[in-house]
């Protein structure tokens, strides 16, 4: 299967930005800007803070924009003060959820094992997962990017069936490129997305490896998106900062066509 047959996904990660009113406005603005763009075969997703979900789902109703969350808990319900379950997200109209973002790993004690647990909960609830993996700068400099990214991918996907992989998208996000303005070169992005695809081929099959969308994330913007998205193994983008500007986000969506 070649790249053209895989689903392209352009997903925004809004992080801890926007009130519900601002969220609705941003969805409206993005929709206005993409109204003349052909987006067949491209999933457009906005992953928003929990409190914005209701407003974002309503604003996105009848548009091509799908709403995602930025995390979910691994349990179905229970004594986990302050947490949100995958079932709750599903009931609110959420379709996608980011799992294992490096900011969760860095600041909130996320481990490969909890990533795996959350991923199972999300899949069981019927959500599509955007699984984030990526190396730190020191790890790249030590030459262990392949080992780190392979290990993160394998542990995250422990006991995930080949059938369930239809609802998993992987985002390669080198930690040194997130929110820093430093982008991986298109060759670096393509190389590591290719490494992840090889891991999937070994874990599952060539068919699943070739059918799974693998995104690049890390300072993707309106200027560099076209080149990154043209690479054979890069099937879309997970975009932080630039997803908060309707104009930039819509240019990236256009670049993916």
Residues that bind ligand PEP in the complex, under the rule CB under 6 A: 13, 173, 178-179, 217-220, 238-242
Residue 173 bears catalytic tag: yes
d(CA 140, CA 142): 5
Please, what is the minimum distance in Å from the beta carbon of residue 182 to ligand PEP?
Answer: 9
Please, what is the minimum distance in Å from the beta carbon of residue 186 to ligand PEP?
Answer: 15
How many CB atoms neighbour CB 256 within 10 A? Answer: 23
Please, what is the minimum distance in Å from the beta carbon of residue 154 to ligand PEP?
Answer: 21
Closer of 204 and 228 to ligand PEP (Cβ): 228
Sign of CA dihedral 2, 5, 6, 11: positive
Closer of 218 and 236 to ligand PEP (Cβ): 218
Please, what is the minimum distance in Å from the beta carbon of residue 239 to ligand PEP?
Answer: 5
Three-state secondary-structure class, residue 181: coil
Cβ atoms 171, 218 nearer than 8 A: no
Closer of 72 and 87 to ligand PEP (Cβ): 72
**Residue 98, beta-bridge partner list:** 130
**Residue 13, beta-bridge partner list:** 47
**Residue 236, beta-bridge partner list:** 9
Closer of 57 and 174 to ligand PEP (Cβ): 174
Please, what is the minimum distance in Å from the beta carbon of residue 240 to ligand PEP?
Answer: 2
Active-site annotation holder among 43, 70, 95, 101: 101
Let me know if 203 is exposed, middle or buried by CB neighbors in 10 A (0-12, 13-18, 19+). middle
d(CA 129, CA 96): 6
Distances from the Cα of 74 to the Cα of 71, 77, 124, angstroms: 10, 9, 10
By C-alpha distance, which of 75, 88, 153, 151 is closest to 120?
75
Three-state secondary-structure class, residue 14: coil
Closer of 68 and 241 to ligand PEP (Cβ): 241
**Residue of closest CB approach to ligand PEP:** 240
Residue 101 bears catalytic tag: yes
Catalytic residue IDs:
101, 173
């Amino acid at each position: 299967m070649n790249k053209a047959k895989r689903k392209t996904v352009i997903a925004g990660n809004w992080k801890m930005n926007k009130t519900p009113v601002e969220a609705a406005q941003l969805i409206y603005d993005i929709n206005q800007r993409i109204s003349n763009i052909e987006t067949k075969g491209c999933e457009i997703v906005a992953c928003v803070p929990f409190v914005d979900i209701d407003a974002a789902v309503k604003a996105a109703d009848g548009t091509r924009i799908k709403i995602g969350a930025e995390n979910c808990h691994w349990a179905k319900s229970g004594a986990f003060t302050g947490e949100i379950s995958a079932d709750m997200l599903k009931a609110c109209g959420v379709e996608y959820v980011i799992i294992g973002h490096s900011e969760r790993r860095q600041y909130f004690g996320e481990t490969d094992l909890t990533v795996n647990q959350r991923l199972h909960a999300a899949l069981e609830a019927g959500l599509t997962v955007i699984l984030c993996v990526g190396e730190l700068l020191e790890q790249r400099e030590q030459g262990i990017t392949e080992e780190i990214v392979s290990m993160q991918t394998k542990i995250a996907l422990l006991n995930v069936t080949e059938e369930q992989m239809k609802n998993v998208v992987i985002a390669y996000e080198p930690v040194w490129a997130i929110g820093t303005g430093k982008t991986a070169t298109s060759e670096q992005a393509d190389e590591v997305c290719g490494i992840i695809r090889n891991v999937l081929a070994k874990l599952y099959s060539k068919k699943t490896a070739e059918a799974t969308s693998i995104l690049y994330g890390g300072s993707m913007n309106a200027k560099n998106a076209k080149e990154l998205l043209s690479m054979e193994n890069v099937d879309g983008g997970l975009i932080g900062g630039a997803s908060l500007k309707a104009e930039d986000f819509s240019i990236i969506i256009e670049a993916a066509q």
